[in-house]
Structure 1
Amino acid sequence: MFLWHYLTLLLPITVQICKAQRCEEFTDLDLAHAIIGTSLKIRLLLHTRENVTCASLLSHTNMSANPQFNVSKPTTFVIHGYRPTGSPPVWVLRFPSLLLAKGDVNVIVVDWNHGAANVNYFKAVENTHKAADNLTAFIKMMQEHGASLSSIYMIGVSLGAHVSGFVGANLNSSIGRITALDPAGPQFRDTPPEDRLDPTDAQFVDVLHTDVDALGFRQALGHIDFYANGGADQPGCPKTILSGTSYFKCDHQRSVLLYLDSMEGCTSRALPCSSYKEFLDGNCLNCDRFGAAGCPVFGYGVTKWKDVLLSLGQTSTYFTTNSVAPFCMTNYGVEVMIWNEEVRWGYMTLKLYSKGKVAVATINHKASEFKKFTVTKLLARFDKDLQSVEKMSLKFSTGNPLKPQYKLRVLRIRLTHLERDERPLCRYDVLLKEKEEVTFRPIPCEESNF
C-alpha cells in the first residue's frame, strides 16, 4: 500500500520532468501532404544557450507559459520558405548553434511547414501574409512584456524573406534588422513595395541574391544587396536538368549555405559596382566611400557598415565564391604593363605559394587587352587567402589554338591585396611564353610608379 501511494506521488513529477526535457522538432511532412495541401499552422521553436540543440515550443498567446524565453535578450527569428515536398530544411539545426555562438540571444525557428508544404505555390504565397500577421501578434506580445523592437533580427529564406518584410511593415519599420536570403521572385516581381520586402521594412535590410534568373528576385530590395557570382548561376551547381531536383534548387539554396559559411568565419569582401561585368573587369576596386573599414563584408557582420550604408542609400555589391565550402575567395587588384610593340589579347592564371599551400586565380571571363607602356587593370579572385606570399607564378594564353603562340614581355606586374592594408607585391621584366607557367619570387613594390 505504501509503495502504491509513493508511485502515485512520483508519477506526476516524472511526467513534468519528461515534458520539460522534451525536444521539439521541426515538422516533418512528405509529398503526400503537399499534394493534398496543408493549412497554415505556425510553431515557434526556441533555442537558447541553455538548450542549443533541444528546442522548446513557445506559446503564441501566453508569455507566462514560456518561462525559458527571456524577452530582455535580443531575439532572432529564422523563417524558411516554400517546402514543395514537406521535408524539413537541411540547414534548420545549423542556424541556432551558429547564432548562439555569436551572442547570448533567443533564436526562434519559425516552423510554418503546414502552410509552406503545398504543390500549389500560389497557396504558399497567400500564406505568407497570414504567417506575418501571426508573427506580428507574437512580437507585439513580446513588446508588452518588455522586449525592444530594435533588438529583433529576422532572417528570411526565399518566401520567408517576404514574410519578414510583411512583419516589419506591420510593426512600422521598427525592428532592428532583416536579412533576406535569395528572396522569392515568382509572384513578387513587378509588385509594389507593400506586397514584398523593401528597405523600409526594418531599420536595416541586407539582401543576398543567388538565383535571380529563376526562383529568386533580381532587383535590389535592401539597404545593401549582395549578388554572389552575379546573382545567378552558382559554381558547383548542376548545369543541366539531368541532375534532377538539384538543377532547380541548388542556386536558390546556395544563399543559405553562403550565409552559414559567413558565420563560421569565411569572409567575402563585396565590391560596389554598377554590374557584374564591371566587377569582373576590375573597374570597381575603389572602396574609399566606406572609410577606413573598406568595402563591406557579406554576411552576419555587415552591420559594421550600417551607418555608412544608410547614408549612401541603396547599394548593390558583387562578390564571387568557390564551388564548395569554404566559399570565400580573396580579391587582389592586378596591374600589368608590357613592352611588346604589338597589342596582345589573352587570359591569365596566377598562383600564390606559401608554406606548402597554393592559391589560384584564373582571369578568363573575357580576353584582356595588353598594350605597350599601358597599365591593364584586372581583378584576381583567389580561391583562398594566404597570409604571406613566398613565390608566385604566371601563365598567359590567347585561348586560340589556331594562331601562333605569342610571348608576353611583362615590364611590371603589381598585386595589391584588396582586403588587407599591406604593401603591394611586384615583379619586373618577366617573359611569358604562351601556356608556359613561369614561377618567381615577388618583391615589395618600389615607391615610384610607371
Structure 2
Amino acid sequence: MKLITLTLLSVVLFQSSVNSSMTLKDIVTGAKDNVIGMVTNVGSYLPTPSQLFGAAKNNLAGYPLEYLADTMNSVCSTLMHSKSIQTRVMPDLATMNFQFITPCEKHIIPILSSKDLYKIKAFDPTKKTVILVTGWRTTIDSSDTIDELSKAYNCRGDVNFIAIDVASCVNTLFTWSALNTEKLGEYLGQGLADLAQVIPRENIHLIGHSLGAHICGSAGRSFTALTDEKIARITGLDPAKPCFNEGEDLSGLMRGDAEFVDIIHTNPGVLGKRDPIGDVDFYPDGVVPLPTGCMSITCAHSRSWEYYVESVYPGNENNFMAKRCNSLAKLKQNRCGKTPAAPMGYAATSNLKGNYFLEVRGSSPFGMDGSKQRENANVYCGSCVQNAGK
C-alpha cells in the first residue's frame, strides 16, 4: 500500500507541474481518492510492479525527453525552411556502393553498376533482394544492424542481402546528415532503377533504420519518377523524428513511397517518429518513449531493428503478433474488436492497414511467442562458421 500511495503521489505531483494552481491539499486529496478507488476495485485496477516501474520510468526519463525532442524538431524545421543551414558533406554518387553480403564474403558493387551483381555467382536473380540502409553515425564495416540482419537473412537463405554504404554522408552533425537524405535517396533510386532491369522490381524490399528509413522513402519516390512503377515494400525501423515533418522541407518516409510501407515505432516522440506514417504502423509496448527493458533512448531506438532481426530467423515469423487497436491499454483489456492478429516484422503482409499494438519482452527473445530453444538453435545459423565446411 505504501508503494501504491507513493507512486500515485508522484504521478499527481508530476501532473501538478503543468497545473500550478493546485494546492498541497488538492494533491494529497487527489492521491487519497485514487488510493481509495484502487482499493475498492483492487481486482481490476491494481498495477503490477513492472507496470508501476514502466510508468515511473517513462514519466521520469521518457516524456521529458519527448518534450525536448519536440523543441529541437521545431527549431530544425524553422532552420530548414529559412535555408539557414547547408550540408557540410555533399553526397558523392561515385563513392556509393552496394555491398552484397553472403555468410563468408562481401562483394562491393558501385551503385550505378548494380547490374554487375548479376555477374556474382552467389547472387540469385530469382530470389528476393533485401537492401538495408542504416542510420546516423553508423558505418558499413562497423554496424551491429548490418551484421545481425545479414546473418538472419543468410540463415534463411532465400534472399540476396545487400547493405548500402552512405556513412560518409550521414556521419556528420545530424542536421547536415538529415539534409543529405533526399539526395542520397535519389541516387539509390537511380541504382534501383538500374537493378530492376535484371531482377523483378516486385522482388525488391528496402529496409531503413532511423535516417536510413527516410533515405529509403526518397529512393522509392525517385524510383517511381524514373520508372512509373513502385518498389514492392519499404520497412521503416523507427524512422528519425528530428527535422522530418510531412509537408515541410524534409518530409521523409511516408505511405505511398512503395506499394507497401510498414513501420515499427520503438522510441516514438523522441528519436523516432510518433505519428503513423505507413500503410501499417506497429507500436510494440505502446506509444511510450522507453519500451520494456530499455532505460535509454538509444536502447529504445535500436529495439526496432532488434525486433525485426528476431522475426527474420526461421521459426520466428510469428514471434510478434499484433492487433489493430487504439492503444496498448485496450489490447490488454481485450477491447480491440475481432480483427485477427497479424505478425510484425519479416512476415508482415501487404493487406495490413492502420495502427497495430503488441506486448514485448524486455530481453531476447523479445517476441511474446519467442522461444529460447529456437534462439539457441540459430546462434551460428547464417554465419561463416556454420558455412565453413560447405
The question of a shared fold, defined as TM-score above 0.5 by the shorter chain, is answered with yes
- Match status 1:121 vs 2:174: yes
Deviations 1:125-177 (A, max 9, x none): 01111211111111121223x32212110011011111111111112251111
| Corresponding residue to 2:307 among 258, 261, 264 | 258
Contact 1:70/1:106 (<8 A) preserved: yes
Contact 1:215/1:252 (<8 A) preserved: yes
| Corresponding residue to 2:364 among 325, 328, 335 | 325
Residues 180/257 of structure 1: CA separation in 2 closer, same or farther (3 Å cut): same
Higher gyration radius (CA): 1
Q: CA RMSD in A?
A: 2.7
- Match status 1:135 vs 2:188: yes
Residues 85/63 of structure 1: CA separation in 2 closer, same or farther (3 Å cut): closer
For residues 365 and 89 of structure 2, the distance between their equivalents in structure 1, rounded to whole angstroms, comes to: 37
- Match status 1:206 vs 2:259: no
Q: What residue is the counterpart of 1:360 in the other structure?
A: none
For residues 247 and 156 of structure 2, the distance between their equivalents in structure 1, rounded to whole angstroms, comes to: 36
For residues 104 and 335 of structure 2, the distance between their equivalents in structure 1, rounded to whole angstroms, comes to: 46
Higher strand share: 1
Contact 2:207/2:235 (<8 A) preserved: yes
Deviations 1:207-244 (A, max 9, x none): 10001121000111111110011142111111xxxxxx
Contact 2:239/2:272 (<8 A) preserved: yes
Cα displacement (A) at 1:96 = 1.6
| Corresponding residue to 1:234 among 281, 288, 291 | 291
DSSP 3-state at the match of 1:230? coil
For residues 84 and 180 of structure 1, the distance between their equivalents in structure 2, rounded to whole angstroms, comes to: 17
Amino acid of the residue matched to residue 112 of structure 2?
Answer: T
Structure 2 gap segments, 5+ residues each: 1-87, 374-390
Higher helix share: 2
Q: Work out the percentage of aligned pairs sharing the same amino acid.
A: 26
Q: What residue is the counterpart of 2:35 in the other structure?
A: none
Contact 1:329/1:385 (<8 A) preserved: no
Q: What residue is the counterpart of 1:61 in the other structure?
A: 112
Residues 205/190 of structure 1: CA separation in 2 closer, same or farther (3 Å cut): closer
Deviations 1:64-120 (A, max 9, x none): 6542145454211001011179983222212122123334322110121111111x1
**Matched residues, number:** 273
Q: What residue is the counterpart of 1:186 in the other structure?
A: 242
Deviations 1:349-381 (A, max 9, x none): xxxxxxxxxxxxxxxxxxxxxxxxxxxxxxxxx
Contact 1:53/1:93 (<8 A) preserved: no
For residues 164 and 213 of structure 2, the distance between their equivalents in structure 1, rounded to whole angstroms, comes to: 12
Any runs of at least 4 consecutive aligned residues in structure 1 with deviations exceeding 6 A, and if so which?
Answer: 84-87, 383-386
Q: What residue is the counterpart of 1:270 in the other structure?
A: 322
Q: What residue is the counterpart of 2:342 in the other structure?
A: 296
Contact 1:38/1:117 (<8 A) preserved: no
Q: What residue is the counterpart of 1:366 in the other structure?
A: none
Amino acid of the residue matched to residue 168 of structure 2?
Answer: H
| Corresponding residue to 2:96 among 42, 45, 54 | 42
Residues 253/191 of structure 1: CA separation in 2 closer, same or farther (3 Å cut): farther
Cα displacement (A) at 1:277 = 2.7
Contact 1:132/1:164 (<8 A) preserved: yes
Matches within 5 A, 1:280-295: 280-284=332-336, 286-287=338-339, 294-295=340-341
Amino acid of the residue matched to residue 257 of structure 2?
Answer: D
Matches within 5 A, 1:402-417: none
Structure 1 gap segments, 5+ residues each: 1-36, 239-246, 288-293, 331-382, 387-450
Output the TM-score relative to the length of structure 2: 0.64
Amino acid of the residue matched to residue 151 of structure 1?
Answer: N
Residues 248/164 of structure 1: CA separation in 2 closer, same or farther (3 Å cut): same
Q: What residue is the counterpart of 1:163 in the other structure?
A: 215
For residues 115 and 301 of structure 2, the distance between their equivalents in structure 1, rounded to whole angstroms, comes to: 39
